[in-house]
Amino acid sequence: MFDRVRSIIQGYIQRDDLEITLDTDVLSDLGINSLELVELVCAFEMEFDREIPEKDIRQFVTVEDIVRYLEAIEA
């Protein structure tokens, strides 16, 4: 799951200089704002064919938070 999430993030932010780990902070480390986070979540929704409610996006602080969330909704 982490590899899929990392691949989507890398495709979205298009920065080769950034190492994405589970501890990567979604906003500060990736250099995106909250609107861009919503756009990134749309990419996750398309990839996983699941709707992610706006209220759930608030819990996405790190990449690990996203991975755990997606694992839970895939189960």
- Are 40 and 33 in contact by the 8 Å Cβ rule? The answer is no
pLDDT score for 15: 81
1-74: CATH topology is 1.10.1200
pLDDT at 45: 97
What amino acid occupies position 5?
Answer: V
> Counting Cβ atoms within 10 Å, is residue 66 exposed (0-12), middle (13-18) or buried (19+)?
buried
Nearest to residue 58, comparing CAs of 29, 30, 31, 38?
38
Where do the domains of the chain lie? 1-74
The ranges of the chain with pLDDT < 70 are: none
